Amino acid sequence: MPVFNAPLDDIRFVLHELLNTESLSELPGYEEATPDLVDPVLEEGAKICQDVLFPINQSGDGEGCHFENGEVTTPKGFKEAYKTFIEGGWTGVSADPDFGGMGLPMVVNTVMQEMICAANFSFGMYPGLSQGAYEALHHFGTDEQKALYLPKLVEGSWSGTMNLTEPHCGTDLGLIKTKADDNGDGSYSITGTKIFISAGEHDLTENIIHLVLARLPDAPEGVKGISLFVVPKFFANEDGSVGDRNSGVTCGSIEHKMGIKASATCVMNFDGAKGWLVGQPHKGLKAMFTMMNAARLGVAMQGLGIAEVSYQNAVAYAKDRLQMRALTGAKAPNKPADPIIVHPDVRKMLLTGKAFTEGARALSYWAAMHHDIANKHHDEATRQEADDLVALLTPILKGYLTDMGSVVSNLAVQVHGGHGYIWEYGVEQYVRDARIAEIYEGTNGIQALDLVGRKMSQGYGRLLRRFFHPVQKFIETEGENPEMMEYVMPLAKAFMKLQQATATIAQKGLKNPDEAGAASTDYMRQFALVAMGYMWARMVKVSLEALEGEPDNKEFYEAKLQTAKFFFSKMLTEADWRFKSLMAGAEPLMAMKAEAF
């Protein structure tokens, strides 16, 4: 049977010792967000993830969702779990208190997202989509729309979706055909078909609020002609209660998928469905990107969550499974064989999972903390700097964390050997669930193109400076510290090559865009590894300082140092060959004629 325990010790280490998120309590609206409040909230969150969501993860995968007569039934236990979830207020952790939310920092919600995705990836899809809908309406909705929809989304009695993809177009939203005709009364008639709509139909909430991209009759071609509409499954009565069915909204079918089988992925048909414009005409893409950017950070946490639970199960199995003797002699002489955790190759797989999850946790929480600064800080320049850093890190986090979610889940299967291939042991589900995260909300290839095509050049390199400057300062300061040398020197060398790669891509890409495209994925991975190295070096510094005080949990900090050594010697080295690969240019990729494939 699979296992999951929320990694609260490491979460607290990152929040309080590494990032000092208590400083967020100095921002307006976050005054109560001190460890005295945050820690108990996360402890309760861990309990619901461990005790309510995790026990129905494997059974939900085995049963899947049921579709009949346009209605979707979620697996056994999901309705009850969702009821418990919303009663605890977990759908409104970082939502505006004016609409019933807790008003806690986004970084706290990010921690919850990680734990939810580790415990039950499929379940997390339902409240996750609602959060995206909340963000779009909170930023772009009218006062009336906010008053009607946001309290219901925050309390979780209503849920939300995002409807972008159509049968003929995914990433290229300029090709969408769904149309919106003015009804003359402030509403619009929406007609078209959307596919791959997560949580488009289900039985967890009394209403579902669809945010739909469509074109007005006078819309210009391409992405500049897209508008956003809110299309409820049920209309609301004057008192806010659920009213008549919006008959033009129906679910045509659900997909039979490789993974996340307890999450309903729907074909949604809009046949003259009644909806209302959100934001300005033809400006829907900007509003939808508010949802998508929040969703991309959420998907990054799916990668981290699935890696964490995969790693935990691999460790549990490696400590229990007896096979052969250690190469240096028996380590468990009272047993017929040693546990496989004594073998170097098994340890390499486990340490890869450990080094990734702990580094990725630090990096993603750092980004989430800057999201809070961007939203709340009193100084405009500071807000802009923080927003720049989040914008830069978003494609890196989405791309790298989900790629590595697949890697670590596959390593967990390998550690389990033949048992990993068997459904009952649970880890093969993690491989299937993890795979989608590399695809949706923009494939990881698209994330890499976003990084080199938009983020690199934005503001004449302004976004890059938000990362490069603090890393350079850290290297200069800590490079003189003898205890830090073995960690700072590899980081400094990798950072230098990242700067060189950045300059090369910028120069070559201006002459030939294929050069930037060919380098993009290698560059994103190189950037992610340097960013992870920066966070690991910072964690080393904190751990060394903690060990000077002879703490009771000395082993915790010693393990941090040992894991950091593994990262810098065994994982950061990937950045070097990524650099060599991208420097080879576009010719090896683009020279061959299509007919030769």
Strand pairing class (158-163; 207-214): parallel
- Sequential DSSP letters for 499-548: HHHHHHHHHHHHH-HHHHHHHHHHHHHHHHHHHHHHHHHHHHHHHHHHHT
In this structure, the number of other CB atoms found within 10 A of the CB of residue 347 comes to 15
**DSSP 3-state of 129:** helix
- How much of the chain is helix, strand and coil, in % rounded to 5? 65, 15, 25
Catalytic residues: 441
**DSSP 3-state of 372:** helix
CA 394 from chain centre, in angstroms, equals 9
Asked if residue 402 lies in contact with residue 299, where contact means CB atoms within 8 angstroms, the answer is yes
Residue with tokens 């670590």: 408
Asked if residue 574 lies in contact with residue 525, where contact means CB atoms within 8 angstroms, the answer is yes
Written as six digits, the tokens of 261 are 């089988």
Asked if residue 77 lies in contact with residue 85, where contact means CB atoms within 8 angstroms, the answer is no
In this structure, the number of other CB atoms found within 10 A of the CB of residue 13 comes to 23
Q: Which amino acid does the sequence have at 256?
A: H
**DSSP 3-state of 233:** coil
Written as six digits, the tokens of 180 are 């919106």
**DSSP 3-state of 252:** strand
CA distance 94 to 87: 16
In this structure, the number of other CB atoms found within 10 A of the CB of residue 76 comes to 13
CA distance 364 to 411: 22
Asked if residue 307 lies in contact with residue 10, where contact means CB atoms within 8 angstroms, the answer is no
Select from 197, 167, 192 the least CA-distant residue to 265.
197
In this structure, the number of other CB atoms found within 10 A of the CB of residue 51 comes to 11
Strand pairing class (188-198; 234-236): unpaired
